[in-house]
Amino acid sequence: MSGQILPKKHHPIAPQAAPGTLADEILKALMFRVGKNANVATGHDWLNASIKVVRDRIVTSWIDSTERTYKAGGKRVYYLSLEFLIGRLMRDAFSNMGMLEDVREALASLDVDLDVIAELEPDAALGNGGLGRLAACFMESMATVDVPAHGYGIRYVHGLFRQEIHDGNQVELPETWLEHGNPWDFDRRERAYEIGFGGTVEALTDELGQPSGNIWRPQERVLATAYDTPVVGWRGKRVNTLRLWSAIPIDPILLDAFNAGDHIGALKESNKAEALTRVLYPADSHLAGQELRLRQEYFFSAASLQDIINRHLGEYEDLTSLPDKAAIHLNDTHPAVAVAELMRLLLDNHGFEFAAAWDITRRTFGYTNHTLLPEALESWPIHVFEQLLPRHMQIIYAINAELLREARDKGLDDGQIRNISLIGEEGERRVRMGNLAFAGSHSINGVSALHTDLMKQTVFSDFHQLYPNRINNKTNGITQRRWLFQCNPALTSLIRETIGDRFMDDIEALQELDRFADDASFREKFAAVKRANKERLTRVVSERMGLHLDPSALFDIQVKRIHEYKRQLLNIIEAVALYDQIRSHPERDWVPRVKFFGGKAAPSYFNAKKIIKLANDVGRVINNDPAVRGLLKVVFIPNYNVSLAEVMMPAADLSEQISTAGMEASGTGNMKFALNGALTIGTLDGANVEMKEHVGEDNIVIFGLTAAEVKEEREKGYNPREAIENSPELSQALSAILSGVFSHDEPERYRGLIGGLYEHDTFMCAADFDSYADAQRRVDDLWRDSADWNRRAVHNTARMGWFSSDRTIRQYAGEIWDVPA
């Protein structure tokens, strides 16, 4: 059934208990499972009691889903990802079980407001940005379309970090989401696996003295223990499992050392184990950070593979059938070491010959590449890799020998063979994890049409020549349950009232809304929903930052990981240019605008952190300048996360998707904004290209160089200084920043950041500035005609159904995993 995308399935919501019965159940859970009565219960107590009542029903479906898969002997999908940005789960689970309103009513009868206690649930700190949120959407969609699946990752104690802004600077603090436990997860202490590091490899011989294999004898060992979170599909038909690994030491305390007085040293094994699962993306600017990252990636990959094999051998005789019963998918390059680990297990533990093991491995794995940026295609110094994983290094050399012989036999030249090699030799010799993932997988997919084409032309061009049928495209999607039904209930109700409920099971039926774009009465209701969502965001900003905003202004939002290629800097510079124009030409009819920013910079990423500081400095000056008359505000909201996104996406009028063309693999924030009725201003990059095709070129604002033009400019010898000097607005804005207008206390603060634009401008801010500024003035013109703006906004919402993660998962299921959906 390869390549087949099966029809969508519709399932009714199972009958639920009446609100009165639910209220009784919540009171019982409060007393017997939380240990409180209603008179003294806190908001957290009510939250936990409500979750436990609904969780009981989820568990019933969870067990039924598992049993159905076992009885059917079905193939399972195993999704390995270093991130799962699941956010708060309460509304997601309650809504998908069809119980949200019943629980709301039950709690109201007990004088408890569901919306108030829902705000007390912490965001699970299990991811950073789009990669992790995509994994969360995919898990929910797999359950929705009835694909049996396990997600595998790490149960981070602190996750990325909690961001605070002190004097405009990002400050990283530990996230404490697990401080009071997690009511959604189940401790599976029986699922514990030893994970080794370091040590030596012993060559074995048989009774005749002939080589008979190898055995790795690790120097260090830790235990990976499982915690399971149920992932509920729409209408509760299937519940899948997100299994997260926690690390514990085999010997938690060295008693001899403790009794000898070395109380700190006695805990070194505990500390070393706990470090594995404390922080997401430890800084890798030093050797210790690089080693910890590699340890993390191996730790969760090895535990997951042991678990997968254990489950398979519990049902089938041997591992020959593994590719027929298990589709293991690598979400980006982080779990690529799983390729070498599966080979080790097959060769050393299960007695397979190399050729058979390599065949099983390649038929089992699939790999999604999410970026063309070199730093994200991870590579590790040979000496670090070999010291930590000596047996895997041997296996990688063996795979590489096989790979390069095949490349030579197929006529690839020396340069191509160097590019394909799993060992990079440009300076320090390194293990190339992207190449390992590609070589060890039967399918390699990009996440937008443009990104997939660029993969074939750039980072994997020689692999593509060697294996011309492996690269395919699966454009990303988002789950409409989270990003429309839950985060924008007023718009969902309006759509239901207008076109009925079919879109809730088949999101592409949202297209029926398109004809109402010309209905003035509907547009008025649509605009009222947007206004209410903007008022909600203004309240959040007022409460958190003490800043008062006008909800009638155009809300222009750029929220995502802070990175130079995403070009928050371009947006800030344009704000400075607009500030100059407003002050210089007060007689013009300026559109009131609020520019929102949000996102975290990697702790060791100097320029990204400097961009955050600049955004806050620019906002401080502009927001307090009476000459602006409130026509422009710049707001950086701290600690951007899923819960904040759920407030900001519905409130946006304009979505900023302005990465340098050819550098954003797909984007999913662009889809969430558009689904909620925002117009996009963006380059022809990532999924913006396909969004333009679906929403129509009149309903999206495109500017700037294309990916091909960026490449051409670089090849010609791009001169940013010339571009700056030829743009009076850009030149003036940069001069203001450089001269200390926004940094009176330290005039030289942005000399390095802005100087980089003059010297190299890697991400083409200067080249695209004039086009971007012109596009923003086109946005102003569109905004002035509110009826026309709202017409375009309705078209965006109506035409985004194709970008559902349900569609994406059905394509993965039919074309990569070979499972029904």
Provide the annotated active-site residues. 370, 560-561, 566, 668, 672
C-beta separation of 776 from 681 below 8 A:
yes
**Both tokens assigned to 682:** 């963006």
**Both tokens assigned to 147:** 């694909």
C-beta separation of 100 from 88 below 8 A:
no
Q: Which residues, including other chains, have CB under 8 Å from residue 630's CB and lie 6 or more apart?
A: 550, 592
Distance of alpha carbon 37 from alpha carbon 30, whole angstroms: 6
Question: How would you classify residue 591: left for phi > 0, otherwise alpha for psi between -120 and 50, otherwise beta?
Answer: beta
Q: How far is CA 373 from CA 113, 265, 574, 633, 662, in A?
A: 46, 41, 26, 33, 10
* Residue spans of alpha helices (H) in 167-316: 255-259, 268-275, 287-313
Distance of alpha carbon 491 from alpha carbon 479, whole angstroms: 16
SS3 label, residue 203: strand
Give Cα 242 distance to the centre of its chain. 15
How does strand 701-702 pair with strand 679-682? parallel
Neighbours of 192 (CB within 10 A): 16
Distance of alpha carbon 810 from alpha carbon 6, whole angstroms: 7
Distance of alpha carbon 530 from alpha carbon 654, whole angstroms: 12
Burial grade of 261 (CB within 10 A; 0-12, 13-18, 19 or more): exposed
Q: Which residues, including other chains, have CB under 8 Å from residue 186's CB and lie 6 or more apart?
A: 227, 228, 229
Distance of alpha carbon 821 from alpha carbon 818, whole angstroms: 9
Core vs surface per residue 214-230: b (16+ CB within 10 A) or e: bebebebbbbbbbbbbb
C-beta separation of 650 from 671 below 8 A:
no
* Residue spans of alpha helices (H) in 641-750: 642-651, 669-675, 688-695, 707-716, 720-725, 728-738
SS3 label, residue 185: coil
SS3 label, residue 118: helix
The DSSP H or E segment spanning 634 is: strand 632-636
Distance of alpha carbon 85 from alpha carbon 668, whole angstroms: 13
C-beta separation of 57 from 146 below 8 A:
no
With CA atoms as reference, report the closest residue to 591 among 792, 787, 783.
Answer: 783
**Both tokens assigned to 87:** 């956010």
- Which single residue is written with the structure tokens 């999604």? 368
Distance of alpha carbon 615 from alpha carbon 561, whole angstroms: 14
**Both tokens assigned to 197:** 């590091």
CA neighbours within 13 Å on the CB side: how many for 775?
26
Q: How far is CA 479 from CA 8, 138, 301, 675, in A?
A: 15, 8, 26, 11
With CA atoms as reference, report the closest residue to 453 among 706, 701, 693, 669.
Answer: 706
Alpha-carbon torsion (163, 166, 171, 174), positive or negative: negative
- Which single residue is written with the structure tokens 């950086």? 636
Distance of alpha carbon 13 from alpha carbon 22, whole angstroms: 17
Q: Classify residue 592 by its DSSP letter.
A: P
**Both tokens assigned to 258:** 């403790």
Instruction: Enumerate the β-bridge partners of residue 680.
Output: 655
